[in-house]
Amino acid sequence: MGSRALGMGGAFTGVADDATALHFNPAGLSQMKAHEISAAFLSGQTDTSSQHFAYGGPIPFAGLAGEGFSSVGGSILYSRGGQIEINEINADGSMARSDKISAGYDMVASAGYAERIGMTPIETPGKSYDINHFIGAAAKIIRSSLAERYSATAVAVDAGYLAQCPDLGVALGFAASNIGGKMRFLESSDPLPTTIRMGASYLFKPRPLHDLIFAADGDFLFHDRLWHTAAGMEYFWNKLFGFRLGWQFNRSTLGLTAGLGLQWKQRFTFDYAWAAGSVGNSHRLTFGYRFGGIIQSNRGKTRRPFMEVSPGQESMPANAEVIPVEEKPRKKKRAAPPPDERPSGVPGWIY
């Protein structure tokens, strides 16, 4: 899902920093610095097509672990398999009826959540590094139809983990998708395509206006016992113009992918991807809009530790050293002399 990921050959598990992270690695939602909505349109081989609408963004919540970077996301995928022709033949071999119907469709609705669960500091001679740990999960409902006559529904979950070191520009991700029930059309049922992914990425900045990302992925289809690998890169200049290139290994198709990216004011985005195939080429377009950006330091605010304080008493750290302070004796106010001891000629109200 998403033209950016397709242009990089699908190597996106270790990148996953936009609204499509819900599909590749739900933990990547925590990397989003702003709210983002996107709409993708795919023109596949023959007359197949897909539409994908996604949203992702941060929320003002310190997280269940209290480490910040909480985000939510949602998406809807609708895919059509084109049309098929049905011919009914009479007993004598003549054509009785010919009709074209829909081959089928798939619809997937997903919703997910991600947050940071901790940070590991690493000390080296002369410099220190921080490794952020993110986790995420998503629930989805899958609805499928075949030949306008049969339909099935299933429920599944996705889960992901992402380790990121911003100082080094390195990230490592793991994800498992489509964990759940089976699709049952008639009497028999088929398991969902449970997939296990692992990916890594490296962000390289040769100059201030140049961003270069290298990524590699590997996935394994659990039930089919099939594996695929992919490698890709993305280059962006001044966060305005981008170019992508990728290659998918161990596939029946050619495996070459490419793409372009445009950004305007870092709010409006346009991405295009092209993938070569044995039957025909596929093209994908994605339009996106970002809004409500949040400063990264505010995203990383953690929940303050709870301390029980009695009313009227100031809070104090548990390991604070208490230093006794010697109080000076207060000076007593001088009492007014009795009326008979007052100096003569002085008004009594002075006292």
The token pair at 123 is: 């000390």
Does residue 200 sit within a domain?
Answer: yes
pLDDT recorded at residue 237? 93
For 192-208, how does the pLDDT look when each residue is reduced to its tens digit (9 = 90+)?
999 999 999 999 988 88
Task: Extract the residue ranges of the chain whose pLDDT is less than 70.
Answer: 44-46, 277-280, 303-351
- Phi, psi values for residue 198, rounded to 5°: -140, 135
Does residue 336 sit within a domain?
Answer: no
Provide the phi-psi class of 104: left if phi over 0, else alpha when psi is between -120 and 50, else beta: left
CATH number of the domain residue 115 falls in:
2.40.160.60
Number of domains, the chain: 1
Does residue 79 sit within a domain?
Answer: yes
pLDDT recorded at residue 328? 54
For 121-144, how does the pLDDT look when each residue is reduced to its tens digit (9 = 90+)?
998 888 899 999 999 999 999 999
How many Cα neighbours within 13 Å face the side chain of 318? 4
Does residue 325 sit within a domain?
Answer: no
pLDDT recorded at residue 45? 63
Task: Identify the three-state secondary structure at position 193.
Answer: coil
For 23-49, how does the pLDDT look when each residue is reduced to its tens digit (9 = 90+)?
999 999 999 999 999 999 987 666 788
Does residue 38 sit within a domain?
Answer: yes
What kind and span of H or E run contains 286?
strand 282-291
pLDDT recorded at residue 351? 40
Average pLDDT for the chain:
85
Q: Domain range holding 175? A: 3-90+101-299
Does residue 17 sit within a domain?
Answer: yes
Alpha-carbon span 25 to 158, nearest angstrom: 8
pLDDT recorded at residue 329? 55
Alpha-carbon span 33 to 177, nearest angstrom: 24
Does residue 323 sit within a domain?
Answer: no
Alpha-carbon span 38 to 285, nearest angstrom: 10
Does residue 335 sit within a domain?
Answer: no
Q: Which of 290, 287, 255 is nearest to 272 (CA)?
A: 287
Q: Which of 218, 266, 221, 215 is nearest to 244 (CA)?
A: 215
pLDDT recorded at residue 296? 74
Q: Residue 331 CA to chain centroid, in angstroms?
A: 67
pLDDT recorded at residue 83? 81
